[in-house]
A and B are shown apart, each in its own frame.
Chain A
Amino acid sequence: MIERIEKATEIRHWLGDMEADHYYYSSGIAGERFFVALRDEGKILGSHCAACNLTYVPPRIYCEHCFAELTEYKEMGKRGCVVTFTVAHYDKAGHRLDPPEIFALISFGPCTTPLLHRLGEIEPEKICVGLEVEAVLKPKKDREGKITDILYFKPAK
């Protein structure tokens, strides 16, 4: 039952696509505060659950563990440390990334949820778990209220 057809176009085939190719995703209530604070004030916000002693970064309006409504927003500062990282050599389409891109989870302190982002201004060999880093933001005039308003995190001075 096994054939060795290498190319999909060598068999009788029909092309198809999913026609609904655009979606609008909203940032939500907590997301709106997070992205506006990032764009206008250059601040990274979190929301705190006192019952669980857990700070969500980015913020959320509820705690998923106890279902409390979260109303206490905190500024997290720009410094954090690397929880884990990877040096990616390929993008999702399978194209080589040259130079490789470095992705990491950044924690802003104990009992906070880490944030996913890129690392920059560092050689891959010098990264380690626990490394202290700080956020590098786009200039205010270029910020759009997106996660990419943070360009990357670099080693903290």
Chain B
Amino acid sequence: MNLTKIRKDVAVVGAGMTVFARRLQETGKEMSWEAAKMALDEAGLTLKDIDAVILGSAPDAFDGVHKKGDWLLDGAGGTNKPFMRVYTGGGTAVFAPIAGWWHVASGMFKRVLVVCEEKMSSVQPHAQSAFAHIWDPILDRPLKPNLVWIFAMEMQRYMHKYNVRYEDIALVAVKNKRNAVGHPCAQLADPNITLDDVINSEPMALPVRRLDISPPSDGASAIVLVSEDVAYEHTDTPVWIDGVGWCIDTTMWTNRDLAFPKFVARAAKMAYEMAGIKNPRKEIDFAEPYDPFDYKELQHLEGLLLADPGEAAIMTREGKTQRDGEFPVCPSGGLLGVGNPIAATLGIKIGEVYWQLARKAGPRQVKKDVRTGVTQAWGDLMQFSAVIVMRRR
């Protein structure tokens, strides 16, 4: 792999996102347009200035429309432009920006728009009906799997192997739902939520309880990526993508190390090497890891090599990962607090890191001076990870 000789440095100069909620009225195209327009406005650009468009969206089954990429094309601003759809499940939120990055880093395009959309409310009776078709039809489906319970088995294995207490995991849900109070797009912000609320919430598939899980949602997010050649024409505060990495583990989920996400570590090492980061704990100031379940934030921090296995739970208990703590994690409020429209979580992952580093995060701005942030998303059949390191220069 050549992780050093990239032709062009790439910066984020604008981001936008819609409210995350059950949005029955608006179409996916309309939400895509709303988010894309916000990102262009922040960058001071119009659609005419954009050289190429990347669209990220999760399974076609959510909409019951095949080739969802070209279905959403016009709302994403891709008509009559070089256009591609990428899809790695939940990982799309950070992988679509990586696809945008290589369009610009290669030197081919100067200004690229990345739009991620998800509308989970169309599928009936529930988005779980679409998820039922992601498993092996011969070995898994006859046992009637539910997405929640494979996560429950992973959480159980994580707790068992590293001796992690459920109470410490539940604190992540409390933190993120409270952090989301400052987010204008939040679906599940709760300023008053307590640890007892999470611990006493309804058992779904034990050890997972209702408040350990992020909600299905509808929404869209977008960012504008530009080449170093033009970045300062658009803003005084470009935020640079200095490292990208991605990796996928075996599709046979039963055969993975369910306690430590090795594929996250591989993706992180790739991104850190590209960014010249030797000691991630010292050189990274805050993180936006993927948190569809509270235990995933902890596992992902460990996969990102920002904590030893099992240590992220202790950091959480000690308050280090609070927004004003020594290492803020998910200052956006994350998927647990803002919502989980799969691919559209771009806005609370790379979007949040951009806003934080550009000092545009408003009431969510972390107290300490942050210059380097990392974000990560997780997807496909809980086996894929994409990682981006960003810096303010």
Docked CA distance A93–B146 (Å): 8
**For the complex, is B157 an interface residue (Cβ under 8 Å from A)?**
yes
CB of B277, distance to nearest CB on chain A (Å): 29
Contacts A89-B205, A93-B125 given; indicate if A83 touches B142 (C-beta within 8 A).
no
Question: What's the tally of chain A residues with a CB closer than 8 Å to chain B?
Answer: 44
Interface size class of chain B, counting residues whose CB lies under 8 Å from the partner chain: 35 or more
Which of A3, A27, A31 is packed against the most chain B CB atoms within 10 Å? A3
| Contact across chains for B25 and A92 when beta carbons are under 8 A apart | no
Do residues A105 and B153 form an inter-chain contact, with CB atoms below 8 A? yes
Given contacts A3-B24, A27-B138, A129-B157, contact A90 B254 (CB under 8 A): no
Given contacts A84-B156, A84-B258, A90-B204, contact A8 B24 (CB under 8 A): yes
- Please tell me if B235 contacts chain A, counting CB pairs below 8 Å: no
Assess whether A116 is in contact with B140, with CB atoms less than 8 Å apart.
yes
Do the beta carbons of B252 and A113 come within 8 Å of each other? yes
Q: Given the complex of chains A and B, what is the CA–CA distance between A16 and B19 in angstroms?
A: 26
Q: How far is the CA of A10 from the CA of B124 in the complex (A)?
A: 15
B23 touches A2 (CB 8 A): yes
Which residue of chain A has its CB nearest to the CB of B61? A18
Residue of B nearest to A15 (CB): B124
Q: Is B124 touching A8 in the complex (CB atoms < 8 A)?
A: yes
Contacting pair B208 A84 (CB below 8 A): no
User: Min CB distance, B131 to chain A, in Å?
Assistant: 7
Pick from A58, A86, A94, A118: contact of B153, CB under 8 Å: A86
Q: Does B18 contact A94, Cβ atoms closer than 8 Å?
A: no
Partner of B142, one of A2, A88, A148: A148
- Does A116 contact B25, Cβ atoms closer than 8 Å? no
**When the two chains form their complex, are residues B149 and A88 in contact, meaning their CB atoms are under 8 A apart?**
yes
Is there contact, CB below 8 Å, between B125 and A85? no
Does B276 interact with chain A (Cβ within 8 Å)? no
Q: How far is the CA of A86 from the CA of B156 in the complex (A)?
A: 7
Complex interface bits, A6-27 against B, C-beta within 8 A gives 1, otherwise 0: 0010110000111000010101
Give 23 CB contacts A-B under 8 Å: A1-B18, A3-B23, A3-B24, A31-B138, A58-B139, A64-B252, A83-B157, A84-B258, A86-B149, A88-B204, A90-B205, A92-B128, A92-B132, A92-B144, A93-B129, A94-B128, A103-B145, A113-B254, A116-B140, A116-B143, A117-B143, A118-B143, A147-B139
Given A84-B156, A129-B157, 15 other A-B contacts at CB below 8 A? Answer: A1-B18, A2-B21, A3-B23, A8-B121, A16-B64, A18-B64, A83-B157, A84-B154, A86-B208, A87-B203, A89-B205, A92-B145, A113-B255, A114-B255, A146-B142
A interface residues with partner B (beta carbon < 8 Å): 1-3, 5, 8, 10-11, 16-18, 23, 25, 27, 31, 56, 58, 64, 83-94, 100, 103-105, 113-118, 124, 129, 146-148
